[in-house]
A and B are shown apart, each in its own frame.
Chain A
């Protein structure tokens, strides 16, 4: 087992995997389970991974398959995570650039975006997550979700129009240097 090779190829993508898992599963605990199980599955099949290919897309495909086959069925009701009051400390890290008011607005905006994405149908949400947030191409996202590239584009287009409607106030606050 080439553990060093596996870690070098996969660990840099942990933030992306966790974020995608959180958007799929909807709660931090399940997102952690899903991320962890994705890594264990990837470890077991690392021998089949082609060196030099896109390891992020490979991991996301494993994760999405895992979610569809094992997690989605158990998610009839929203997961209840009872460690209330426990927030992601990274969200409160001060940035050296914006002032406190702007930080607060940005934090509110991020929360609004997360809520808006969470309201999308699952297929739309996953397409937005893979392409707009995780930076996959439409072809890579199509491989992850097992659908044609045109379907991804169509889902993205419709999802983005819905998001525009839901996020109009936040869109007006996007700074030029964010583009």
Chain B
């Protein structure tokens, strides 16, 4: 085997992927050739370096994944190991309901929110509204929104981001009065802005220090932040960096 032949087989040799006959010829060559032996050493150094770069799953990810697995299996983390025979139908029904909930949640949001939370209501509201535009609230509704949300009730102009306002309205989200505005871009991209007075959803609490939280599922991205007691939720199908730019601007203004 020549040096050139060996160099072509270097990776396969280092990985132990050569056939026995070829491996023996390559090993014989390395034993007699300092240059190729140094190449093998370099290759092994590279493997060691690559393996050392592995990133373990953070503890929060492990918890989230395990919770998702158990929810997906229709079993809460602390439930008994197996349902008894008498509970068979109840367990089956619960499993079906849980599976349906997981599928529904997986369509739009990870992790699955508490069904009674404003987060769930916001996603559900965004999803159910579909592609329809909104109207305009009555004067009384607008006054009520302003009384609850203050300046945050105003619908921002996003023309600078090539987004046309379609309408806005007052909506109840899990008992919270919310101002909801819809926008479209020329390509049909959709952006929905929701604001209500309250706390950030649990999953976005890590940003309570004033940052933005970003969550994505499929083609939907959402940004969350809280200012002056008002939660802002921006959801859309436009490019993530555009949506992030809008969130940053609105976040800076609010």
Contacts and interface: CB of A to CB of B under 8 A. Distances in A.
Contacts of A113: 49-50, 52-53
Given A18-B61, A33-B110, A133-B51, A156 B42 contact: no
A82 B50 contact: no
A125 B239 CA distance: 24
B214 interface: yes
B69 interface: yes
Contacts of A80: 214, 240-241, 244
Contacts of A28: 58, 61
A174 B240 contact: no
B72 to A, nearest CB: 5
A35 B57 contact: yes
B189 interface: no
B49 A29 contact: no
A4 B206 CA distance: 32
Given A18-B57, A138-B17, A74 B218 contact: yes
A137 interface: yes
Interface of B: 8, 10-12, 15, 17, 41-62, 64-66, 68-70, 72-75, 81, 95, 102, 106, 110-111, 206-207, 211-219, 223, 239-241, 244
A40 B69 contact: yes
A178 B48 contact: yes
Contact of A179 (B10, B48, B64): B48
Interface string A161-179: 0011001001100100011
For B54, B56, B74, B110, the residue with the greatest tally of chain A CB atoms inside 10 Å of its CB is B54
A40 B107 CA distance: 13
Interface residues of A, number: 67
> For A35, A70, A106, which residue has the most chain B Cβ atoms within 10 angstroms?
A35
Given A36-B110, A82-B212, A179-B44, A14 B69 contact: no
Q: Which of A73, A74, A86, A179 has the most C-beta atoms of chain B within 10 angstroms of its own C-beta?
A: A74
A178 B44 CA distance: 9
A88 B68 contact: no
A32 B72 contact: no
Contacts of A32: 58, 60-61, 64-65, 110
Given A29-B214, A163-B50, A167-B46, A40 B55 contact: no
A163 B49 CA distance: 10
A3 B206 contact: no
20 contacts: A14-B65, A15-B54, A16-B54, A18-B56, A19-B56, A33-B110, A36-B61, A36-B68, A73-B219, A77-B239, A81-B214, A83-B211, A133-B50, A153-B17, A157-B8, A178-B48, A178-B49, A178-B52, A179-B45, A179-B48
B216 A33 contact: yes
A138 B106 contact: no
A121 interface: no
- Most A-side CB within 10 Å, residue of B49, B58, B111: B49
Contacts of B54: 15-16, 19, 133
Contacts of A17: 57
A11 B66 CA distance: 8
Nearest to A2: B73
A128 B50 contact: yes
